[in-house]
Amino acid sequence: MAELFEIDFNLEYPYTRTTGPIIGPFLTGLRDGRMLATRVGARVICPPVEYDPDTGATVGAENLVEVGPAGEVTGWTWVAQPTSKHPFEHPFAFAQIKLDGADTTMLHAVDAGSEDSMSTGMRVVVRFRGDRQGTINDVYFVPGDEAPAAPEVDDDAEPVRITEHLIGVRIREPLLPHRRRFVEGLRQGRIIGQRSPVDGKVHVPSRGYDATNRVPMTPDDDVEVADVGTVTSFTEIVPVQYHGQTETEPYIRCSVLLDGADSTVGGIDIRDIKVEDFRVGMRLQMVWREDDRIGEFDNRGYGLNEEVYERWEPTGEPDVDPELLKEHNF
Q: Is 107 in the site for other proteins (CB under 8 A)?
A: yes
Give residues 200-229 in contact with other proteins (rule: CB under 8 A). Answer: 207-209, 211-212, 214-216
Q: Is 135 in the site for other proteins (CB under 8 A)?
A: yes
**SS3 state at 321:** coil
Residue 61 CA to residue 68 CA, distance in Å, equals 18
Q: Is 305 in the site for other proteins (CB under 8 A)?
A: no
Q: Spell out the alpha helix ranges (H) of the chain.
A: 20-32, 177-187
- Tell me whether residue 27 or residue 270 sits nearer to other proteins (CB atom): 27
Alpha-carbon torsion (35, 40, 44, 45), positive or negative: negative
Q: Is 78 in the site for other proteins (CB under 8 A)?
A: yes
User: For the chain, how big is the Rg over CA atoms in Å?
Assistant: 30
Quick one: which of 58, 150, 159, 165 contacts other proteins (CB under 8 A)? Answer: 165
Q: Is 46 in the site for other proteins (CB under 8 A)?
A: yes
The dihedral over CA atoms of 312, 265, 304, 176, expressed in degrees to the nearest 10, equals -170
Distances (CA, A) of 243 to 12, 40, 88, 133: 9, 40, 26, 20
- Cis peptide leading into residue 69 (ω within 30°): yes
Query: Residue 285 Cβ, how far from other proteins at the closest point, in Å?
Result: 30
Query: Residue 319 Cβ, how far from other proteins at the closest point, in Å?
Result: 30
Point out which residues bind other proteins (CB under 8 A): 7, 9, 11, 15, 17, 19, 23, 26-27, 45-47, 49, 53, 74-81, 83-87, 94-96, 104-109, 115, 120, 135-137, 163, 165, 167, 169-174, 176-178, 207-209, 211-212, 214-216, 299-300
